[in-house]
Amino acid sequence: MKATRFISSRIFSFSKENLSSIVMKIAVVSIALGISIMLISISVVVGFKNQIKDKVVGFVSPIQIQVLNQNESMEETPFQYDSTLKSRLELPFIKSIFPVANKAGLVKTDDEIHGIVLKGVDKDYDWTYIQSNLISGDIPQYDDNERSNDVLISKIIADKMLLDVNDEVRIWFVGEDMKTRGRKFLIKGIYETGLTECDERFIYCDLNQVRRLNGWNENMVGHLEINLLDDIEVTEANNVIYYRIPTNLISYKASDLYPQIFDWLELQDMNVVIIIVLMLLVAGITIISMLLIIVLERTSTIGILKSMGANNAFIRKIFLQRSRRILLIGMLFGNLFGIGLCLIQKYTEIIKLSPESYYLSSVPIEMNIWYILMLNIGTFVLWVMMMLIPTMIINNIKPSKSIRFE
């Protein structure tokens, strides 16, 4: 071990001004850039997926139950949320269930008109997500015993219709008799989530208002929003719920309700895979080239070692030992650089995004120690295996010819 370490330290030197020294420096830079780019790519995509999923789930919940023959419009077919259905949904992984009803309408001011959806919720509704995105005003307080005219609108709607907190807004609806009728509501608060598909559409109101507009009784709902306990797999929970509810109802995951967003997120996974494969190949080819140049440059040294009785395995070990050290140095610098850039972006949000296009105002960063460890271990093993390729040349070097090699 000491012999191979001593010999490799003489062969591999950054201080000597020769071709192998230059190639080793290039290899360190290439490895560092490869690792840092892979770390940044994974951290950004994981951040994107988690934050956007949280936004969608915050709006629609992980699972929804609605009538099976639900049409494509926002006019929902009602069903009874009675004691029988409640008992069927008494499952250990369900955290909470909220009755909700939607009603399509039009917001009209003197200068503007905008299509919206009233989302009726009751007094027990979980406002945690909306509260975290409230930019002005307060969350409405509803009561089962009386109807409230308080509503919560998004910043997109408020800006377009020139509305503010404590303003009255008239919303127009089309009844079953195809006649229009308007209702006045009081704006209690304004929210902004950055999820354009929802922000430009939903206005929160009292569930009793939607029931009255639709002519429903007090047990009728448009759909149920189901929140799950932490660490519960949504697909498995949805399968259990699907077989527990009556045949006239169906359960959907959030990904089923907004497939375009989740398909876009899946596409980001493919982009990261492509980036990682390219970085592995580029850095791997650099490593192979480095080791190949060093082997060729040290051909005479290899011939001397063979003439002194050293076997091929011993000589390969000399080159691989020092190459692994170069690899570790490059990976160390790459991790420091990549993690450093991620931390800067995470806490300063220096790189901004357009919320209309990306649903977020800045590039999200989410660092996971297990992802970092798996990436480093997998990359190290793969690159070490790639190092074996150029060392095979050592087997074909003949002492008698190599000693004269310049």
Which residues, at least 6 apart from 197, have a Cβ–Cβ distance to it below 8 Å?
258, 261
Give the pLDDT confidence of 159-199 residue by residue, as tens digits: 998 899 999 999 998 766 667 788 899 999 999 988 888 89
What are the residue ranges of helices labelled H in 250-368?
254-257, 259-297, 299-307, 312-348, 355-358
Average pLDDT, the chain: 85
Sign, CA torsion 317/321/323/328: positive
Give the pLDDT confidence of 269-284 residue by residue, as tens digits: 888 888 888 888 888 8
Cα distance from N-terminal residue to C-terminal residue, the chain:
29
The pair of three-digit structure tokens given for residue 57, joined into one six-digit string: 């789930």
Token pair 């709902």 is found at 221
Decide: pTM greater than 0.75. yes
* 3-class DSSP state of 373: helix
The pair of three-digit structure tokens given for residue 139, joined into one six-digit string: 């969350």
- Of 174, 175, 130, 132, nearest to 153 by C-alpha is 130
Sign, CA torsion 219/224/230/231: positive
Give the pLDDT confidence of 202-250 residue by residue, as tens digits: 999 999 999 988 888 888 999 999 999 888 899 999 999 999 999 889 9
Which residues, at least 6 apart from 280, have a Cβ–Cβ distance to it below 8 Å?
34, 38, 379, 382, 383
Give the pLDDT confidence of 10-63 residue by residue, as tens digits: 555 555 556 667 878 888 888 999 999 999 999 999 998 888 888 888 888 999
Q: Look at residue 4 in the predicted model and tell me its pLDDT.
A: 55
